[in-house]
Structure 1
Amino acid sequence: MTEETHLRDQICTLAKSMFDRGLTGGSTGNISARTRDGGLLMSPTGTSFGRLDPARLSRFGADGRQIEGDRPSKEMPLHTAFYDTRSQTGAVVHLHSCHSVALSTLPDVDEENFLPPITPYSIMQLGRVKLLPIFRPGDPAMGEAVRGLAGKRTAVMLANHGPVVAGEDVEAACYAIEELEATARLALLTRGLGPRMLTEVQVRDVVTTFDVEWDQ
């Protein structure tokens, strides 16, 4: 098995796992990953995470031109914005996960730090998550909004739409976006109950210990 064949299979396996657990439904969500030659693999437009075909993933060369596969997701500008502004990005995942979308609609959410500090794990895997405004699906302005962050965030939340997370590889990106959704679910479950959050000192300890990008 070649390295690219393994990557294609890994993308489809992880996507199906998220679909099977209800993290994104229908033909929603998109996923991409860098190839060894500097190119890109991406889920095609209108496809379900539950039925991605490794052989039909959109394949781009290092020059950005499509060389094989089906037509890519219309959210490609959103993905390329992360690749272009964060050199360490090896994969990007976007879901329409219910709890994070629900949390994004609430009026008192912190736009600069979307997730409350309920556990250390969202901090470790995501840093600060930026809440972006509502955009029309497929609007190139989403990519421009990410570019405007100048590579300072690994994750954003598109209001009333869904999270987008960049990682060093496809496995890391998927694990991080799952942590984002789990934390959003915890935030909703505990809302109005006066939950005990991590203190500023505890957050700073996590940030320092795990070298988290935080003060940007």
Structure 2
Amino acid sequence: MSGEEKKAREGLVRWGKSLFDRGLTPGSSGNLSVRLDDGYLFTPTNSCLGFLDADRLSKLDGEGRLVAGDPPTKELPLHFAFYQARPLARAVVHLHSTHATALSCLADTDPDDAIPPITPYVVMRVGKVPIVPYTRPGSADVAPLIRDKAPDHPAILLGNHGPVVAGASLEAAVFAMEELEETARLVLLTRGMKVRHLASQEIADLEATFKLRG
């Protein structure tokens, strides 16, 4: 096993437990993946993120075939669509976090901008978040929907299902997911109030300063 793979296995176990312990995805919901130089690591099907075993993680080759470990999550089409659309992505995080999932269920959530720019950090770490229509969990029907949006959006809400985030590393994807969930909570807390969104020039300043479009 390469040093890269060993580190990725340890990271999946560590971050999975952190997400579960903080109530960001309950039971056996949610799934994580990491792209390796020689394939992919996925959390196994029906696994709880709080109790992952590094040796039983699903190892897939570059063609998506299982080569070691337990059978992978049924959400492979979702993850692979992100990897295909974002060649620099090294990790994908999908959770059923409460507030982001709630936004994905509300009929009046803006499908093109589900997470309004109310803080600089949601702009810096997440960007504009679209919603794709509901598909059955695990269905390959989600893949073209993701491939259509993901080139311009590292974070997407699955309609009536929950958030998905891709990142340049597992840590980056987790941090972006946490920011998305916290901002979704703020959006719901301030619903019906007069909220000041960041102005377009303020967003442009953030994008230019932190090279967010790179």
Could you tell me the TM-score, scaled by structure 2's length?
A: 0.95
Per-residue deviation, residues 117-169 of structure 1 (Å, max 9, x unmatched): 11011111112111111111111111221112362221110121110000001
Counterparts of 2:131 and 2:76 in 1: how far apart (Å)?
A: 19
- C-alpha distance in structure 1 between counterparts of 2:91 and 2:55, whole Å: 18
Q: How does 1:1-216 map to 2 (within 5 A)?
A: 2-37=3-38, 39-149=39-149, 151-213=151-213
Contact 1:90 1:168 (C-alpha < 8 Å) held by counterparts: yes
Quote the sequence identity (%): 48
AA partner of residue 27 (structure 2) = G
Distance in 2, Cα, partners of 1:85 & 1:22: 29
Shift of 1:21: 0.4
C-alpha separation between the residues in 1 aligned to 2:150 and 2:196?
33
| Structure 1 residue 87, shift from structure 2 partner | 0.8
Q: CA deviation at 1:102?
A: 1.1
Which amino acid in 1 is paired with 2:26?
A: G
- Larger mean Cα displacement after TM superposition, 120-129 or 143-152: 143-152
**CA separation of 1:108 and 1:213: change in aligned 2, threshold 3 A:** farther
Contact 1:127 1:213 (8 Å CA) reproduced? no
How many angstroms does 1:213 deviate by?
3.4
Deviation at 1:113, TM superposition (A): 1.4
- For 1:148, what is the secondary structure of its paired residue? helix
Counterpart Cα distance in 1 of 2:150 and 2:183: 25
- Higher mean displacement: 175-184 or 189-198: 189-198
Q: Secondary structure at the match of 1:166?
A: strand
Instruction: Give the SS at the match of 2:174.
Output: helix
- AA aligned to 1:64 is G
**Counterpart secondary structure, 2:25:** coil
Gaps spanning 5+ residues in structure 1: where? none
Specify the code of the residue in structure 2 equivalent to 1:7. Answer: A
Aligned residues: 213
- Asked if the contact 2:114/2:130 (under 8 Å) is kept, the reply is yes
Query: How far off its partner does 1:23 sit?
Result: 0.3
On the 8 A contact 1:58/1:69 being kept in 2, the answer is yes
Q: Distance in 2 between matches of 1:137 and 1:193?
A: 34
> Matched residues in 2 for 1:61 and 1:199: separation?
45
